Copies of this chain bind each other. A is one copy, B any other.
């Protein structure tokens, strides 16, 4: 299955490379692609320059991952064209993963209307402007609502990815990937909410 990472300038690096670490241990099942609207070199918040291919919404299938980070805020305010492409890509994807403030990006496209999302520290303006008609589950680290998975922070992107693997393949496979990564994943944890 393709996993399409949507990169934009000033994305939070580990929002992408944390989930990639888990899925990279499962190459039998997942193939990771790094995409952007410009198809060019993209800078993470942490100053890494990543080579990307073009995001072509019509070619998207499988999983779409949207990271958070400072750049997410810029997308929301200034970049209608990218939002449109991301919306179409998300419509085509079978599963959408959103890390931290990445959920605000997809919320802004209207796709998450009446969906449940994980809690995520946004400032008050963000919350008022970008999450009307959306139910944030207070204290939830990971939430899945239909094909939409969201999580509260960079590190919980690992939990979210592991839950997706458990749903799509098997919980034993997810547990083994967590073990190989050395990540203390609590697969019996009660914070995850499935709607």
Please give the residue numbers on chain A whose beta carbons come within 8 Å of chain B beta carbons, in ascending order: 12-14, 16-18, 20-21, 23-24, 32-34, 41, 44-51, 100, 141, 152-156, 158, 180-184
- Which residue of chain B has the shortest Cβ distance to A14 in the bound complex? B21
Q: In the complex, what's the smallest C-beta–C-beta distance from A127 to chain B, in angstroms?
A: 18
Question: Nearest chain B CB to A176's CB is how many angstroms away?
Answer: 13
How far, in whole Å, are A17 and B48 apart by their CA atoms in the complex? 9
Q: What number of copies of this chain does the assembly contain?
A: 2
Which single member of B24, B49, B154 contacts A13 (CB below 8 Å)? B24
CB of A172 to closest CB in B, whole Å: 19
Q: 15 A-B contacts, Cβ less than 8 Å apart?
A: A13-B24, A14-B18, A17-B17, A21-B46, A21-B154, A32-B48, A50-B51, A51-B51, A100-B182, A141-B182, A153-B180, A153-B182, A154-B181, A154-B182, A154-B183
- Which residues of the other chain, B, contact A182 by a CB distance below 8 angstroms? 100, 141, 152-156
CA distance A156 to B182 in the complex (A): 6
Q: Give the most central of A48, A50, A100, A180: most B CB within 10 Å.
A: A48
CA distance A16 to B17 in the complex (A): 9
Q: Give the docked Cα–Cα distance between A154 and B34 (Å).
A: 21
The docked-state distance in angstroms from the alpha carbon of A51 to that of B156 is: 27
Say how far A16's CB is from chain B's closest CB, in angstroms.
8
A153: min CB distance to chain B, Å = 2
**Known contacts A17-B48, A51-B51, then 6 further A-B pairs from the complex at CB < 8 Å, ordered by chain A residue:** A13-B20, A32-B47, A32-B48, A48-B51, A154-B181, A155-B184
Note all chain B residues with C-beta closer than 8 A to A21: 12-14, 46, 154
B14–A34 CB distance below 8 A: no
A23 CA / B14 CA spacing, docked (Å): 12
